[in-house]
Amino acid sequence: MARYSVLVKKTAADELSRIPKKELLRIIERIRSLEENPRPFGCEKLSAQERYRIRQGNYRIVYSIDDDGRTVEVFKIGHRREVYRR
């Protein structure tokens, strides 16, 4: 399977900077794992959008996949109670 490139939007990078350090390393590992498999076990497609989400502890990572361009774009990273709010 070909590798995907992972792009993190600026808003997601800003959210990442506010996450506690003990959770941060696991979240970064989880994002990097999307290079190998953008649809890992446990990922869910969000209903009204062409986006997916994966869990890492109490945090959620929301992203989209472009199979033709082999890219994964991370849109939002946040605590489970806040990540789906607009």
**Span 61-86, pLDDT tens digits:** 999 999 999 999 999 999 988 877 76
Q: Tell me the two tokens of residue 30.
A: 């989880």
Provide the CATH number for the domain formed by 5-79 in this structure. 3.30.2310.20
Strands 71-79, 44-45: pairing kind: unpaired
This prediction has a pTM of 0.89
- The residue ranges of every structural domain in the chain are 5-79
Q: Which amino acid is at 54?
A: I
* CB of 66 closer than 8 Å to CB of 59: no
